[in-house]
Structure 1
């Protein structure tokens, strides 16, 4: 008997305008169904070639290579700007997401003197919450948390209710790391501005997955990583965004020589660049910077609207399979059902999600686990096919129906 879901996958893949991008990635073992690109993207073939070329330049040119390498952070930043809906000169590669969040949060707070409240949410990514708590503790400020449902994400009305004249900064994730729920960036930004607050967005699960529209929303600040949907590789640098008119008005707290106006004068005083480079600190990571550049180049070439449309198709197809195959086995969707409110990953809840995750890996499927009881399935659009989704969920169904996951301990420790 023909499986109608296989036929549907075939039709969707045949009509996929991004299908050719899959061949531009290294897929060492096609038998593995990789559903964790929302944690670490695959290796682009162009990245492997570029890194080899840069290594050769290092070997041949030695210190003279810096003339060629120094612009990589700005060059990659301008590509990322296209992806997140910003302008050239508003995004730059720099440091890690957490360090960038710290720099921009402190700069924003200094720009709103007399206000003593930071607004975030209970389900924001842990690092973001910890950094905000640390900044607040050091400065005698208060963190005001809103409590969205774990599966629903932040709503503009929840943010509006938390705002008043004491709020200096709102810091939220655009796409929730756990559920994949997409926040209304434009509406939240507008609400914060009505109350005189600045907004700092975490785009780690947005960049390369969904349209962001920073300029269209008048967004103030944002940070994000490049190793997930942008396929920059492990350890690739993060990026930060500062709206152009804010750049000369904000003072970041880590004064480093790469943010200095006349860097090589080695002068006694710090005079920051009146542009995005003022938010840099130290020497750029050249090798990983080029990896981020090549990864971002693929997404920019594909176009974020096409990428997002395929993401909705992949997650919607996965949701239909989950309803038909996995719901009778104790799973339930823990992501928004409206595709416009869902990022490029789908989260399923199961009381034994951790052992199911480990059993799935043993069966050749790679998802990941997030507490409490959540199995995340990531579908990066540039290299994931609908038939991969079918195969992955088919194997998950077999793992659950057979009870083989019970052979794995229910002890979520260590990396997944």
Structure 2
């Protein structure tokens, strides 16, 4: 007679349920984001009537993508442009204006045999799924109308088209969220590790994470004495800043110059030092996306109406920052406190928003601001009708910005 089957472990169904609750909502948000992006790509036919192949790696790449891929392939280089291009202005050329975190991840994945282009797409999409997973954990991993709407807003976040592109935005934003998770868990090591990756991916992330970690002495590490809190905040900020030192060390190894990043920014892009932020905001508002390139021939409806969408993007980003602040205020009024992760998300959102205007980034503020995704940690505190209105506005702007990206208008 056959023996009776072994009884199932009592905790196994519960673990499966927890796994489903932890993974299914982030997976649904990631799939929704890809679905919306695919639909936008299909609606973005070029002026000659050709269609964008959403599934091609080429559709994910724009100007700076080629620099990130060149770093992944062969590392850094810097040279006078006239050495290779006699008719070029007397400025510096090379790829030292871009940070190494993302291209080094692409290089590591390419060791499996994948092409650099495909590796870049995989790193980006994996980081985007990770963003939704960490955000879901920060929201409490409990599906409610508010958390569901928050994930939906994340799927069509302002500037979020760059979360699918061969850019470091998704990986850097994931690192910021990991840093917030470290603050929530009281793990300064996890916060420092997330901060290091964020700082190595993008200058905006570097500024935001270092400022937030320094401020964390005021709102995090509550179980420790005051001197220990200051030590954890300072040490985690210092370790995060090492991401920038790593970037500069790689550039120095390749070019022999510690100031290679600053040199090419000043020579080729006219950047360096602090700017007057309100003047930079005015420039961003007056600088149309179509300044760089407008497709010839008949334009699809989305592309035609998106050419002036820099202004709606500007106001939507500003409104998002305001709503994050309102959400924090509502939480303070209702509960008389903000959790450590909410303070972290609030400070990161503010610094990410302001940094491009202090640095002067009239060509890229709209993609830099996509890292304000971390502010969704607070958006869950807003009334549902406000969340629904924000979702509708984000969806409309996502379609316009996405159409311009796939039409080649955006850089």
Task: Please give the TM-score of this superposition, normalised by the length of structure 1.
Answer: 0.26
Structure (1/2) with the larger helix percentage: 2
Structure (1/2) with the larger strand percentage: 1
Task: Please give the TM-score of this superposition, normalised by the length of structure 2.
Answer: 0.27
